[in-house]
A = this chain, B = another copy of it.
């Protein structure tokens, strides 16, 4: 494994997890790097939203590669959300992974959810995982199962599906497993059962980071939380300025502080 990929893999410590914030454009990544995070991810919702395209629809291959290329110049370990790999053909997904490695990416998320809200077959997703690890063995492959995430899948059927798929994806070569949408005892059960670091999505109002750590998570990521939080800020700040309420918080960066983030542009 390359030194950077190895450093990234070692940040996944079950019980003492990596906190991974997710960015969607240059400056959202740059402020997170400035804040001191060793590693950042991307959020496909954020990338799609910035470009005005639907999420999880395989529509942002070009934007995802352009963003990876842009963020790779930041001094940070970078993992990229590639949805379902922007293709149903394992060799094409693997070729895309190789492109990402060539620009400096150390990890990817590869999901089994499909644009129509169903799961691809376990075998089809294993074939993608195996193809990527065959052509890009150094890349940290976080295999995501949407067994819990997709509408209408809950409780024991979802847990059984997630357990089966996690085992299969690890057997196919996945370095980590990502099951968004789980909380509480589900995190404990999956982290004990899965033979790889378990990535959990941080859900405000559910488990805290410490609780997810205790439950055995190896990575906690913010998914679309940060980009959604900014949308609220946009509307609220504009409304306050217009409605003559106080626009709060002097911690907002100045023009020149933002400019300095772009100084190497």
Chain A contacts to B: CB under 8 angstroms: 19, 21, 23, 25-28, 30-32, 34-35, 37, 45, 48-55, 59, 70, 73, 202, 204-205, 208-210, 220, 222, 224-239, 241-244, 247, 249, 251-255, 258-259, 261-263, 265
Contacts and interface: CB of A to CB of B under 8 A. Distances in A.
A183 to B, nearest CB: 14
Contact of A49 (B19, B53, B209, B262): B262
A205 B235 CA distance: 19
B202 A231 contact: no
Contact of A210 (B236, B244, B263): B244
A234 B50 contact: no
Contacts of A31: 231, 234-235
Majority-rule SS of A interface residues = helix
Contacts of A236: 251
A252 B230 CA distance: 8
B241 A225 contact: yes
A54 B259 CA distance: 7
A261 B263 CA distance: 32
Contacts of A252: 225, 228-229, 231-232
A32 B26 CA distance: 22
A194 to B, nearest CB: 23
Contact of A237 (B27, B37, B209, B225): B225
Nearest to A19: B242
A205 B249 CA distance: 11
A30 to B, nearest CB: 7
A204 B265 contact: no
Contact of A253 (B228, B242, B243): B228
Given A230-B230, A255-B228, A27 B49 contact: yes
Nearest to A254: B228
Contacts of A227: 27, 258
